[in-house]
């Protein structure tokens, strides 16, 4: 899960070089700033060390968040059943792949997704790092390590403050998102509700300034819905090389390439073994 995509490289996540430990600074609902260190437990499961110690209520809150971040409750049996018949996905079940790392809150994932658009990965890391370093609340024992800023702190920074942090033309999108969340106009956590339809959630996402087809599909993936492929320039390049002899392809061609995977389309794309595709 830690290596499922680049999210582990974005603050306040910190992944150990071994790939078997994930740390994160987190601000609890009660306002306490703690460090979480997640590791595989003996046998199955995950062990989480929290410093400084927290009370029972906060333990329950953090346990819930870790389950969401690591997607521990996902049932991937249907996806695995289909993947068994596809050589390019034969590795997923054996490697227990298919879960995608995400932030505890929809707000954090949305901000990070906005900061992946129209920029390089280095640019995304720089912008997220600036937000955390400038606006996040510090850990009491290590003030240089900070939590992801709350919507209120991002809203307080305002568009100009965010521009000064290097967010560029994305600053008004992030400022607007934070302000409306603080005002109670968005209820972003409600997008996790499994009773809501994927189409309704997608429409809600697309109505946000700065969220287009790519960002909406990316967010749907992070919300555990895989009906759309987050098509970016990398995806078009891979599909072009794999199935169109290197000729330029439009976004629709990428969607079409994975159409047969139905509700698992996004996951099939995400975990596709492109290297094997190149060798065949």
Binding site for DNA (CB under 7 A): 116-120, 122-123, 126, 163, 166-169, 206, 208-216, 232-234
CB of 11 to DNA, least distance (A): 16
Phi-psi domain of 258 (left: phi exceeds 0; alpha: psi -120 through 50; beta: other): alpha
> Is 4 or 117 the residue whose CB approaches DNA more closely?
117
CB of 126 to DNA, least distance (A): 6
> Is 14 or 125 the residue whose CB approaches DNA more closely?
125
> Is 25 or 167 the residue whose CB approaches DNA more closely?
167
CB of 113 to DNA, least distance (A): 8
> Is 147 or 217 the residue whose CB approaches DNA more closely?
217
> Is 56 or 252 the residue whose CB approaches DNA more closely?
252
CB of 82 to DNA, least distance (A): 27
CB of 216 to DNA, least distance (A): 6
């Amino acid at each position: 899960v830690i290596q499922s995509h680049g999210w582990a490289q974005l603050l306040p996540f910190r992944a150990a070089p071994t790939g078997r430990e994930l740390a994160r600074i987190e601000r609890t609902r009660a306002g306490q700033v703690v460090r979480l260190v997640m590791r595989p437990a003996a046998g199955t499961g995950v062990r989480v060390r929290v410093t400084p110690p927290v009370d029972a209520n906060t333990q329950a809150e953090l346990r819930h968040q870790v389950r969401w971040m690591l997607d521990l409750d996902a049932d991937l049996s249907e996806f695995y059943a289909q993947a068994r018949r596809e050589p390019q996905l034969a590795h997923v079940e054996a490697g227990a792949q298919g879960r995608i790392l995400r932030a505890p809150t929809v707000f954090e994932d949305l901000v990070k997704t906005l900061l992946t658009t129209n920029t390089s990965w280095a640019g995304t890391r720089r912008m997220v790092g600036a937000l955390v370093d400038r606006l996040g609340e510090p850990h009491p024992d290590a003030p240089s390590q900070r939590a992801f800023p709350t919507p209120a702190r991002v809203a307080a920074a305002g568009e100009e403050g965010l521009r000064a942090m290097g967010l560029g033309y994305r600053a008004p999108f992030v400022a607007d998102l934070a302000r409306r969340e603080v005002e109670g106009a968005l209820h972003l956590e409600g997008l996790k509700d499994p009773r809501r339809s994927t189409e309704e959630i997608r429409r809600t996402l697309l109505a946000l300034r700065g969220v287009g087809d790519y960002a909406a599909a990316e967010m749907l993936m992070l919300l555990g819905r895989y009906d759309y492929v987050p098509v970016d320039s990398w995806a078009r390049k891979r599909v072009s090389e794999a199935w169109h002899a290197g000729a330029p392809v439009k976004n629709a061609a990428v969607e079409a390439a994975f159409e047969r995977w139905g509700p698992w389309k996004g996951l099939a794309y995400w975990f596709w073994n492109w290297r094997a595709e190149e060798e065949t």
